[in-house]
Amino acid sequence: MAMPFHIPDEYFHGCLKSAQSLLELLGGLHADPIVARAGKAQEQALPLVQIQMRYWEEQMALWTALPAFGAAGGEGSTSARGGKGGDRRFHARAWHESPWHSLLMQNYLIHARLLADLVERVGCDDKDRNKLRFFTQQFIDAMSPANFAGTNPEAIGLALETSGESLRQGLANLLEDLGRGRIAITDETAFEVGRNVATSEGAVIFENGVMQLIQYAPQTGEVAARPLVIVPPCINKFYILDLQPENSFVRFACEQGYTVFLVSWCNDAQAMKDATWDDYVEQGVMKAIEVARAVAGADKVNTVGWCVGGTLLSSALALLRGRGDRSVASMTLLTTMLDFEEPGDLGAYVDEQMVQQREQTIGRGGIYPGRELGFVFQTLRANDLIWPYVVNNYLKGKSPAAFDLLYWNADGTNLPGPMYAWYLRNMYLENNLRTPGRLSMCGDPVDLGRIDMPSYVLATQEDHIVPWKSAYRTMQLVSGKSEFVLGASGHIAGVINPASRNKRSYWTGGKPGADADAWLAQATPTPGSWWTHWNDWLGRHAGKPVPARTQLGNSAYPPVEPAPGRYVKVRCD
């Protein structure tokens, strides 16, 4: 039986394993809150006793304060657990004005802390603990009283005000989402690729079975002699880099006087079902560099890779350098991992059993559906990208607002099974890329140390996909002169931080070395966007100004169709 929402098997397996681990630990707790289960080692029993005692003390304080809840109209409820703090789920006055709902909220928070504390006492290694921590948090988030119609005072109040119309509309929204196989997180009718997102002027000048290459129209009379080739992640569509004119990285680069080429990955399930990692490297990244250089008539190109696009770019550049190819002047990596020792929350999904399952089912041909991949990324920020929409759409019967970033987030991409399975095993599971010569791609051994051109490595401080300290390890893997920059915010907002808005900040100038914390301790913060800092750095590798070409492509690579092209418009629905 198919799931109405496209939830990957590894999510269920992770939740079940975490539940089993917690139940085993709970079995070690005696009913008496100050006695540990017989046979437990003293060093484990004492922390468990402390956890028990704190839990019972919080419960006692909560129930002792119960008479005051009613007398204070619910205001007294905030004293036990600080329910009026930073948790957005419980900001509404209804949670604090109602004694019952205030009690419910705080009891939930106490139990959530108990489970989180117990996770830290499970006997396992760090990797298994991170997995347990992640999936336990999934359970904690799912069980919030805010997520259920019978325990959410806002939903109950709205249902009474509308005579049940909000619940009726919520059911209609649920049925609609079941039909599309995912939770609506934005008004998707408000946007269309090529109409009001991905609108920068340009043309597809080359295509093959793996990608289309877009060349964008110049925005200045003169351009740098060396063009810029951008390799976006294949797990998302490229137009996160070209959402609206005011927050478009593509447009910014064009306005700084660069000839910009960008890879648009193929998303057709049938066409891509047999594609491999090598295909992405050779027919994708290497081909894009070759075509861009030929069209621009340049001696070299500059390159940018984001996330897995950066992993692909680094792989390609290591191979090119190993073959004696010097056609790339610089490499910029945006929130990219090359060393997967600490892979962040995504690592919770990956173990030998999961990888073997993917290898057996789609590793020799098939597709990992974009809707499942999208759900995985939503779970990394469940209280931002899942549960608020469950509450808003189904319990309150409202429709999500139009937001270009969330439209892009919901516009998923399919991944070829062979490429995906290889990536999981060799990067997330075995971390092979960091070791020189351990991997071969396109028939040649890969050594990241051969990447000797200047590198600009950007990480973001709150990144839940590529932890910034993992991105920092790139500095020890490549051999060229490298500049490490740490931006504020997360994986998306930290990268898409337009210079014109002058928001957030970034850190530069720490002393190079193996210790990321030591680098940060010596780094200098600068308010505003890292885009301007990067532009100054890139200018040193851009070559002399030359007149901008009025025609896109050339005789060997004539325009195929206007940007953004066909490939990006293929949807996974």
Q: Which residues are catalytic?
A: 307
- The dihedral of CA 455, 461, 464, 468: what is its sign? positive
Token code pair at residue 320? 């090119």
Classify burial at 493, counting beta carbons within 10 Å of its beta carbon; exposed 0-12, middle 13-18, buried 19 or more: middle
The Cα–Cα gap between 96 and 83 comes to 8
Under a CB-based contact definition with an 8 Å cutoff, are residues 228 and 304 in contact?
Answer: yes
> Bridge partners of 367?
416
Of the candidates 32, 36, 33, 35, which has an alpha carbon nearest to the alpha carbon of residue 44? Answer: 36
- The dihedral of CA 95, 99, 101, 104: what is its sign? positive
Quick one: three-class SS letters along 168-189? HHHHHHHHHHHHHCCCCCCCHH
CA distances in angstroms from 151 to 143, 155, 397, 431, 499, listed in the order given? 11, 8, 16, 45, 44
The number of residues in the chain equals: 573
> Bridge partners of 207?
212
Mention every residue, 6+ apart, whose C-beta is less than 8 A from residue 28: 36, 37, 40, 44, 48
Under a CB-based contact definition with an 8 Å cutoff, are residues 455 and 333 in contact?
Answer: yes
CA distances in angstroms from 293 to 145, 329, 423, 452, 513, listed in the order given? 57, 11, 28, 19, 34
Say how many CA atoms lie within 13 Å of 515 toward its Cβ.
Answer: 8
Q: Is 199 helix (H, G, I), strand (E, B) or coil?
A: coil
Q: Is 376 helix (H, G, I), strand (E, B) or coil?
A: helix
Q: According to DSSP H, which parts of 257-350 are helical?
A: 269-272, 277-279, 287-296, 308-322
> Bridge partners of 306?
334
The Cα–Cα gap between 316 and 95 comes to 54
